[in-house]
Amino acid sequence: MTRGDQSLRKERKDEHIENYLQTEYVGDSLLGDVYLEPRSFPEVDMEAIDTGMEIFGKRQAIPLMINAMTGGTEVTRAINESLARIAGRLGLPVQVGSMRIALDDPSTIPSFRVVRDIMGPQGVVLANLGAEAEVDEVGRVMDMIDADGIGIHLNAHQEAVMEEGERDFRSWKTRVRAIAEAFPGKVIVKQVGLGMDREALAFLEDLPLAYVDISGLGGTNFFEIEDLRRLDEDFTEFYTWGIPTAKAILNAKAEAPSQKIIASGGIRTASDLVRAMVLGADMGAISGEILRFLLNGDEDYTAHYLSQVADHFRIALAFMGCQDLEDLHRLPYQLTGELARLVEGKVYRQ
């Protein structure tokens, strides 16, 4: 990669941060269509409720992750420093943004490495590359930050509308399989806001993955983010495209029942997290909402938001009669509204 290409990639990363704050479209995750009935006699000791879980061999306080955002520039290094300090305070895993730039420009490595430096060996830190990555590249970026695991993202929709994006996705399945087999139990295959479809999940079911992040419609919309970078075309027609997060979770339980599932895409509150886990997710992940709190406020403001999510999650478990996360997964629920119609609807082919 030329020095000019590296400069453009850095500029793009900063633009993504700036453009996120300008986005206005908010999709519907359909998590609100999950109906739950609270218990009048919960029969639990709220102080003894266990909200913790183990991820990559390390105990975490709540089933929630700070999802991939950024890295690669001075601006994004400062963001990663803040995210690492917040995660350390609250006991949350952190996944850094795409590290492709670090492979091409070693001077950017510290902007990612800072997360591990701040969180120390006890923190869960995850690397990140796209599905075009080679096995050796995965090993290299994981070594750069002493990563516990890595997210491999599937973002064909973003690449397709990005002027400088990739255009050939034919090797992705082969590469994802090779990466999963080379790093068993270390890989999260993740969507980027479009939602994971049933065919993809059926393919992923047989791979030795750590998690599948279904990342559905309802959170950060990369069609809009990329649209704000393009003055020559209008991509607003695609803003509503995608599989809502709730439907993507149900897809995963149907097609990849043995895989652990991360729910992201519109997870903003404890209620969102509870409903996602009732549907079958093992944990949740937030990125955009955290970034908005951080850039519109500061670390304390953001930490307070996440602490409130954790507190409200415990409160919800209490009045639903759940002593731990296993109880949450056993709660009865009903599907209503658009989500019920999607689940019951037929798929037609000519």
Tens of pLDDT along 272-296? 999 999 999 999 999 999 999 999 9
Residue type, 149: G
> How far is it, in rounded angstroms, from Cα 166 to Cα 69?
20
Tens of pLDDT along 97-139? 999 999 999 999 999 999 999 999 999 999 999 999 999 999 9
pLDDT-derived band at 251 (thresholds 50, 70, 90) equals very high
Please give the structure tokens belonging to residue 347.
């798929």
Three-state SS at 213: strand
Whether the per-residue pLDDT at 10 is higher than 60: the answer is no
Three-state SS at 65: strand
CB 157 within 8 A of CB 222: yes
Domain residue spans of the chain: 24-344
- pLDDT for 350 equals 52
Whether the per-residue pLDDT at 311 is higher than 90: the answer is yes
Q: How long a stretch of residues is the chain?
A: 350
Half-sphere exposure of 324 (CA within 13 A, CB side): 5
Counting other chains too, the contacts that 258-261 makes at CB distance below 8 Å and 24 or more residues apart are 258/205, 259/201, 259/204, 259/205, 259/209, 259/211, 259/212, 260/209, 260/210, 260/211, 260/212, 261/211, 261/212, 261/213, 261/214
CB 94 within 8 A of CB 123: yes
Whether the per-residue pLDDT at 229 is higher than 50: the answer is yes
- pLDDT for 69 equals 87
- pLDDT for 327 equals 97
pLDDT-derived band at 12 (thresholds 50, 70, 90) equals low
- pLDDT for 18 equals 67
Whether the per-residue pLDDT at 3 is higher than 60: the answer is no
Pick the CATH number of 24-344 from 3.40.50.300, 3.20.20.70, 3.40.190.10, 3.40.50.720: 3.20.20.70
